Structure 1
Amino acid sequence: MVGPPSREEKREAMNRLKAAIVVLVGASAGLITLSGGGSLLQVGVAIVAGLVVGAVLLAYLVRIA
């Protein structure tokens, strides 16, 4: 029989979700730049900038929650 998740399991799941949010924002920025005809350098810069924006967004969401 499976019991309720432990605190550690909940914390791990929440950390995976947080990482997924940051990666999703970064990948989205890169894909938008790629679809707009950007060079590989521009796509790379957009991904890094998107990851930074994703981290800031996540920090904001954690703070208001």
Structure 2
Amino acid sequence: MVRPPSSEDKRESMNRLKIAIVVLVGASAGLITFSGGGSLVQVVVAVGAGLVVGVVLLAYLVRIA
């Protein structure tokens, strides 16, 4: 029989979702820069900036939820 998820399972799933959101925003920034013809340095900077924006976005989403 399937049991309901425990609070630890829920917390672990939520942490994975949070990490996925941050990585998605960072990767998106890098891909947009790459498709625009950016150099490798520009792509790396865009991914770093995207990760920072992703963390800020996540903090905002957690705060309003």
TM-score interval w.r.t. the shorter chain?
over 0.9
Is 1:36 equivalent to 2:36 in the alignment? Answer: yes
Q: TM-score, normalised by structure 1?
A: 0.99
Corresponding residue number in structure 2 for 1:21: 21
**1-side partners of 2:56 and 2:7: how far apart?**
26
The 4+ residue runs of structure 1 with deviation greater than 3 A are: none
Amino acid at match of 2:29: A
C-alpha distance after superposition, 1:25-44 (max 9, x if no partner): 00000000000000000000
Structure 2: state its 5+ residue gaps.
none
Structure 2 residue aligned with 1:57: 57
- The TM-score with structure 2 as length reference comes to 0.99
Unaligned residue ranges in structure 1 (runs of 5+): none
User: Percent same amino acid at aligned positions?
Assistant: 83
Task: Tell me which residue corresponds to 2:9.
Answer: 9
Task: Determine the C-alpha separation between the residues in 2 that align with 1:13 and 1:20.
Answer: 11
